[in-house]
A and B are shown apart, each in its own frame.
Chain A
Amino acid sequence: MLTRRIIPCLDVRDGRVVKGVQFKNHEDVGDILDLALRYRDEGADELVFYDITASVDDRTVSPDWVGKVSRALDIPFCVAGGIKTVEAAGARLAAGADKISINSPALMRPDLINELSDAYGVQCIVVGIDTFADGETYRVKSHTGDPDKMRETGRLTLDWVQDVVKRGAGEIVLNCMNRDGVRKGYDLEQLKAVRQICKVPLIASGGAGATEHFEDVFKQANVDGALAASVFHKSVIAIPDLKADLRASGIEVRL
């Protein structure tokens, strides 16, 4: 049976793993390779590296840490940040990334999703969506890596999800900004709404603070994976304990 995935997210800035609260005030939490291997050893199912400065600074070169991570890791990983062209995506895949994730560049030029899935197949194209709950209306924001450059996109999240799937996204990471870094639980209502219309794997992001939050998001929102950062980086939750608890509650996980 397919298991639910536990995915530590490593925000990368200038080659180091960092974490901020609601995308601001980043603090250093460690070396990329050290953290990647630690999470692999603890039983992470997959890793996501978000180069959070990339979109903002207009960088497209494949960073050398992608190759280093691929050489060392025997679990899949996804690379996000600043990928605006088929060539930039190809460089990261050639360096050994299993998937690439795009966010702001897809909002600026949605055809990029079609071009990427045509070139490399839907299975390695992830679209990240930063979504803000405005009451019961969910809105997409872009360029969230830097508070000064953050933009309204005028897009509604549910419309954008359907659009990106039609264009060839193979997976969606839904980052619920209201919940990011505050550890009060995933945005179950929003994730349920997106799950209803999303035919590709859906990954929840933003808000994990306790084991129950993971249990809730798998059982109630039926997501395929749950992404978290600070609770893992700060050892609030140990992945082996989390997975044992999830399995005990009847959720299929890889032990």
Chain B
Amino acid sequence: MSLVIVDTGCANLASVQFAFERLGVEPVITDEAEVILKADRVVLPGVGSAPFAMRSIMAKNLKPVLQAIEQPVIGICLGMQLLFESLDEGGEVVQGLGLIPGAITALETTELPTPHMGWNTLKTLQADPLLTDVNDGDYTYFVHSFAAKVSENTLAQTTYGTPFTAVARNENVWGCQFHPERSSKTGAKILQNFLDIKL
């Protein structure tokens, strides 16, 4: 199993790398198109701001590469958000990779503190291989201020003020708004499911 973590130029690729290492996979961290396109699995990580991340992806000419991948891809947190069509963080609206329909907008938290930070529960809306043995009420770790609204691409939702997309899928592309690499046993299960997926 070859697994690539796309080097988007953002910080903190190490924790995702370590999580896969705990599952017995040695990830390759790269921004080289050929290596990405040949990998069995591709992970798009990300922390930070959408404009910065997308500029970095454009500067590295990675947009067409990421759009051409046919094997399973998973985006994590900001990496998930970049899979959508547009991202509005309150400043410039950023064009995403367009691999999952929909937009990323500010989380409607009503009176609750923002960012949404901590352990929250998942509620499955559609059965999917990524969520094998993941049950309603299982906890995962979130830290974000923006999210996708619940749509037909939503596999699981979480509620903080209002419901939002916690796990999304479109064909060979998955995304997790939470951090599976920091979500204890549930997170490890989801990453293992990603490794086990057969398209």
Residues on A lying within 8 angstroms of B by beta carbon are: 1-5, 40, 45-46, 67, 70-71, 73-76, 90, 93-99, 118-124, 170-171, 198-202, 224-225, 254
New contact pairs (19) apart from A74-B187, A99-B143, CB-CB < 8 Å: A2-B142, A3-B118, A4-B118, A46-B118, A74-B182, A74-B183, A76-B141, A98-B12, A98-B143, A118-B49, A120-B48, A123-B115, A123-B144, A124-B12, A170-B117, A199-B113, A200-B113, A224-B118, A254-B139
Residues of B within 8 A of A118 (CB): 49
Q: Are A124 and B143 in contact (CB under 8 A)?
A: yes
Asked if B121 is at the interface (CB within 8 A of a chain A CB), the reply is: yes
Contact of A3 among B113, B119, B143 (CB under 8 A): B119
Q: Are B15 and A170 in contact (CB under 8 A)?
A: no
Q: Are B11 and A71 in contact (CB under 8 A)?
A: no
17 inter-chain pairs at a CB distance below 8 angstroms, sorted by A residue, are: A1-B121, A2-B142, A2-B160, A3-B118, A3-B120, A5-B119, A74-B181, A74-B184, A74-B185, A76-B143, A93-B11, A120-B48, A122-B145, A123-B117, A124-B12, A200-B115, A201-B117
Residues facing A in B132-185 (CB within 8 A) are 139, 141-145, 159-160, 179, 181-185
- 1/0 per residue, CB under 8 A from A, across B74-98: the answer is 0000100000000000000000000
Residues of A within 8 A of B21 (CB): 71
Q: Are B18 and A224 in contact (CB under 8 A)?
A: no
Q: Are A224 and B113 in contact (CB under 8 A)?
A: yes
Q: Are B18 and A71 in contact (CB under 8 A)?
A: yes
B contacts with A: majority SS:
mixed
Residues facing A in B14-47 (CB within 8 A) are 14-15, 18-19, 21-22, 47
Residues of A within 8 A of B49 (CB): 118, 121
Contacts A5-B118, A200-B114; A93 near B12 (Cβ below 8 A):
yes
Q: Are A94 and B14 in contact (CB under 8 A)?
A: yes
Asked if B69 is at the interface (CB within 8 A of a chain A CB), the reply is: no
Report the 9 A-B pairs with minimum CB-CB distance, sorted nearest first: A96-B14, A93-B11, A76-B182, A96-B15, A254-B119, A121-B48, A123-B143, A71-B18, A254-B139
State the CA gap A123–B117 with chains docked (Å).
8
Closest Cβ of chain A to B76, distance in Å, is 12
Q: Are A120 and B47 in contact (CB under 8 A)?
A: yes
Asked if B60 is at the interface (CB within 8 A of a chain A CB), the reply is: no
Residues of A within 8 A of B141 (CB): 75-76
Residues of B within 8 A of A71 (CB): 18, 21
State the CA gap A75–B49 with chains docked (Å).
22
